[in-house]
Structure 1
Amino acid sequence: MLKFLLAIILLGVVVTTVGNIMEKQNKKKKKKSFAKWIGGGLGWALGGPIGGIIGFVLGSVYDGMQTGEFEYKGVQDVFPGQPTFTRRGDFTTSLLVLAAAIMKADEKVMKSELDYVKDFLKRNFGEENAAEMLLVLRDILKQDIPVQAVCQQIRENMDYSIRLELLHFLFGLTMVDKQASHGELDIIQSISRWLGISMADYISIKSLFIRDTKAAYKILGVDENASDEEIKKAYRQLVINHHPDKVSHLGEDIQRTANEKLKQINAAYDEIKKQRGFN
């Protein structure tokens, strides 16, 4: 009887020990996954105000420090002597920070806004990674975001065409309920200016979401009184700026968005050509 009880106790100890080991391994595995996303997916966004926000959110990049896989570095230290290149992680992290700024503009976060961001992340990174990134967004929303400084960092490091796609996403977020608040429109206009987006491109993208009788001209960023040659020139420049090949390295969903933007530009151009009767 005593031997039987000892055997039961021993079995319980073994099961508990194995369970604890497996739990620690699972936690470590998840931490490594998180560290890989942060350390492997980011370049210039590791430094500056964006790096400060993400570092704070992740507890000074706690998982990378514990696993030894990642060390927080300033933006000048990430790729010394190499030209700046925007990685997918740089784009997505910038997007999350600016999305949080938009969502905080009217002092209430809507479920529809979270769903919009979630759908974007799921399409680009899969459901599991999207869930992790939403946790990051949740913590970013709790912070005071230095929006102008963040935009300045993005402007200094991100190509113009990619900044246009970023603004396109933010307008989609703003108009997810078909009507934007004054606070949201004010902050997105400021973001556009701080990102160095031209007024013509800002009006063009805005017109894709908020249309009026002059929408076709606004999409092309020209006045109704512009000459045919001015319209053709504006159209050619927009095609160059929004060509999907320029954002192909950021993922299929971003490229798809650029394609949709290009279709709308072409439709606006065709509408004006039909009105004016030129080819």
Structure 2
Amino acid sequence: MGKFASWLGASLGFTLGGPIGAIIGFAVGSFVDGFKLDGFNQEQIDYERGRQTQTRGRRRPQQSQTQSGDFEISLLVLASVVIKADGKVDQRELDYVRQHFVNMYGKERANSAFRLFSGILKKKVSVRQVCMQIREHMTHASRLQLVHFLFGISKADGNVTASEEEEIRKIAGYLYINQRDYVSIKAMFFNAVDSAYKILEITKSATDAEVKKAYRKMAKKHHPDKLQDLGPEHIKVAQEKFQKIQEAYEKIKDERGF
């Protein structure tokens, strides 16, 4: 229990309060009765949730840096929504989440995260409230990374169902990810004829100059350096997304011969 408490204690930033904090409290309580974390018990987490509800609608300054643990917790909560979107929990999707966390954080930390995830899966999540909390504290680049990961989960079983895609689209909207960015990320997981153009957020009618301009814009928007605050483990994952943009550009270049 000590290792789990240590991991979770280090993860608590903005995710302690509000709806995400309540979900964490429920998840931990589902396998540890009366568990307390650094002086915060379920009643205090519920209080924080109520306090956020009372202050909703007031503009609060966005947190300049999102801690790695906050991103981790947010990812687990949203992943649970997507995995349950088609009415079942597919083992391949669970394996994808586990392996992703092993790759990023190592086996010990991943085991703690997945233990919490098993509790989160039992909780009904208010997607809108969770996303409101995330977007108040997380940068646009980090929110783009969340959406990218969610598509990876849904594709883990080889097929993105309509219900999964609809859930991710809804999440993206609540996170203030515009339609162009959403379509671009989605195209990274489908081998459609025009996927390369969609990834660069342009159409086939774009001129060569417009293609080059679009690539520079996308490379800047999705550059891994924008996630430096989250730590080196997230830079590696961001590089995979960045590679998709580079591959899309190279494909169009080869087709057009410039």
TM-score normalised by structure 1 residue count: 0.79
Partner of 1:223: 203
Partner of 1:259: 239
Partner of 1:8: none
**Aligned mate of 2:112, from 132, 136, 145:** 132
Partner of 2:22: 52
Is 1:93 equivalent to 2:73 in the alignment?
yes
Secondary structure of residue in 2 paired with 1:210: coil
Offset at residue 126 of structure 1 (A): 2.4
> What is the CA deviation profile of residues 192-214 of structure 1, one whole-angstrom value per residue up to 9, with x for unaligned ones?
11111121211111111112111
Is 1:177 equivalent to 2:147 in the alignment?
no
Offset at residue 183 of structure 1 (A): 0.8
**Aligned mate of 2:36, from 59, 63, 66:** 63
- After TM superposition, the structure 1 = structure 2 runs for residues 1-279 of structure 1, keeping only pairs within 5 Å, are 30-31=1-2, 33-59=3-29, 62-64=35-37, 74=48, 83-278=63-258
Is the CA contact 1:124–1:251 (under 8 Å) kept in the aligned structure 2? no
Offset at residue 164 of structure 1 (A): 1.2
CA distance in structure 2 between the partners assigned to 1:41 and 1:162 by the alignment? 16
Is the CA contact 1:34–1:63 (under 8 Å) kept in the aligned structure 2? no
CA distance in structure 2 between the partners assigned to 1:61 and 1:217 by the alignment? 53
CA distance in structure 2 between the partners assigned to 1:169 and 1:81 by the alignment? 26
Offset at residue 113 of structure 1 (A): 0.8
CA distance in structure 2 between the partners assigned to 1:267 and 1:134 by the alignment? 32
CA distance in structure 2 between the partners assigned to 1:81 and 1:212 by the alignment? 40
Give the direction of change, closer, same or farther, for the CA distance of 1:82–1:186 in structure 2 (3 Å limit): closer
Give the share of equivalent positions with the same residue, in percent. 42
TM-score normalised by structure 2 residue count: 0.85
Is the CA contact 1:165–1:254 (under 8 Å) kept in the aligned structure 2? no
Secondary structure of residue in 2 paired with 1:64: coil
Pairs aligned (count):
244
Is the CA contact 1:171–1:209 (under 8 Å) kept in the aligned structure 2? yes
Give the direction of change, closer, same or farther, for the CA distance of 1:65–1:275 in structure 2 (3 Å limit): closer
Give the direction of change, closer, same or farther, for the CA distance of 1:270–1:178 in structure 2 (3 Å limit): same
Give the direction of change, closer, same or farther, for the CA distance of 1:37–1:58 in structure 2 (3 Å limit): same
**Larger Cα Rg: Structure 1 or Structure 2?**
1
Offset at residue 94 of structure 1 (A): 0.5
Is the CA contact 1:44–1:90 (under 8 Å) kept in the aligned structure 2? yes
Unaligned runs of 5+ in 1: 1-29
Structure with larger RCO (C-alpha < 8 A, sep 6+): 2
CA distance in structure 2 between the partners assigned to 1:189 and 1:67 by the alignment? 34
Secondary structure of residue in 2 paired with 1:225: coil
> What is the CA deviation profile of residues 154-182 of structure 1, one whole-angstrom value per residue up to 9, with x for unaligned ones?
11211111111111111110001211111
Offset at residue 143 of structure 1 (A): 1.0
Is the CA contact 1:200–1:222 (under 8 Å) kept in the aligned structure 2? no
Give the direction of change, closer, same or farther, for the CA distance of 1:122–1:223 in structure 2 (3 Å limit): same
CA distance in structure 2 between the partners assigned to 1:252 and 1:51 by the alignment? 25
Is the CA contact 2:223–2:242 (under 8 Å) kept in the aligned structure 1? yes
CA distance in structure 2 between the partners assigned to 1:203 and 1:82 by the alignment? 26
State the superposition RMSD in angstroms: 2.7
> What is the CA deviation profile of residues 63-118 of structure 1, one whole-angstrom value per residue up to 9, with x for unaligned ones?
325799xx8584999xx999442111110100000000001111110111111111
The one-letter amino acid of 1:98's match is L
Offset at residue 239 of structure 1 (A): 0.9
